[in-house]
Amino acid sequence: MAILQYQGCYISHTASTVGRIEAEGPLGACFDLIERDPYFGEESWEKAESEMVHRTLNVLLKKAAKKPEEIDLILGGDLLNQCTASTFAVSELKIPFLGLYGACSTAAESLLIGSRFCCGGQTKRAIAFAGSHFCSSERQFRFPLEYGNQKTPTAQCTVTGAGAFLIDTEDDRGVEVCEGLIGRIIDNGVKDANNMGAAMATAAVDTILRYFDESGRNAEDFDCIVTGDLGAEGKEIAEVLLKKCGFDPKGRLTDCGMLIFDREKQDVNAGGSGCGCSATVTASHFYPRLRSGELHDMLLIGTGALLSPKTVLQKESIPSVAHLVHLRRTQK
Q: With a cut of 70, which residues of the chain have pLDDT below it? A: 1, 142-148, 332
Residue 230's nearest CA partner among 221, 239, 222 is 239
User: What was the pLDDT predicted at 147?
Assistant: 61
Same domain as 199, residue 57: no
Distant-in-sequence contacts of 238-244, Cβ < 8 A, 24+ apart: 238/201, 238/204, 238/205, 241/201, 241/202, 241/205, 242/205, 242/208, 242/209
* Domain match, 140 and 259 both: no
Give pLDDT, residue 143. Answer: 65
Judgement on whether residues 192 and 267 belong to the same structural domain of the protein: yes
- What domain count does the chain have? 2
Which helix (H) or strand (E) element contains residue 140?
helix 134-141
Taking Cα atoms as reference points, which of 231, 234, 302 lies closest to residue 268?
231
Cα Rg, the chain, nearest whole Å? 18
How far is residue 225 CA from its own chain's centroid?
A: 14
pLDDT at 329: 95
> For residue 232, what is the domain's CATH number?
3.40.47.40
- 84 lies in the same domain as 38: yes
Q: Which of 168, 200, 219 is the last residue of a domain?
A: 168
Number of C-beta neighbours around residue 317 at 10 A: 15
pLDDT of residue 156: 86
Q: Strands, DSSP E only, in the chain?
A: 4-5, 10-18, 33-34, 73-77, 97-99, 125-132, 157-158, 161-168, 175-181, 224-227, 253-255, 272-273, 297-305, 320-329
**Domain of residue 295, residue span:** 177-329
| Helices 196-215 and 231-244: angle between axes, nearest 10 degrees | 40
Same domain? 317 vs 190? yes
Q: What's the pTM value of the predicted model, to 2 decimals? A: 0.95
